[in-house]
Amino acid sequence: MNFFTGFLIGVVSLIPGISGGTILVLMKKYEEVANAITHFRKKENLLLLGSLILGIFLGTVTFARIIELCFYFIPDATMILFSGFVLFNIPNFIKSEKIAIHPVWFLLGVFLIFFLSFFSSNFPSVVLDYPKITFLFLLLFSFYGAIDGFFTILPGISGSMVMMILGPYFLYKSFLANLSFQNIVFVFPLLFYFIGDIFGFYIGSKFSLFCLKKYRKPFLSLVLGMVIMSAFVILPAFEFDWQAIFHYCIPLGISFVFCTILNRFN
At residue 25 the predicted structure's pLDDT band, cuts being 50, 70 and 90, is low
CA distances from 23 to 26, 33, 184, 202 (A): 5, 11, 31, 17
- pTM summary value: 0.70
Q: Decide: 172 and 113 in contact? Cβ < 8 Å.
A: no
Alpha-carbon distance of 160 to 156, in angstroms, equals 12
pLDDT over 70 at 206, yes or no: yes
Alpha-carbon distance of 175 to 169, in angstroms, equals 10
| 125: phi then psi, degrees, rounded to nearest 5 | -65, -30
Q: What number of other Cβ atoms are within 10 A of residue 266's Cβ?
A: 12
Closest CA to 9 of 25, 19, 20, 21: 20
Q: What is the pLDDT of residues 130-172, one digit of tens each?
A: 888 889 999 999 999 898 888 877 766 777 778 877 778 888 8
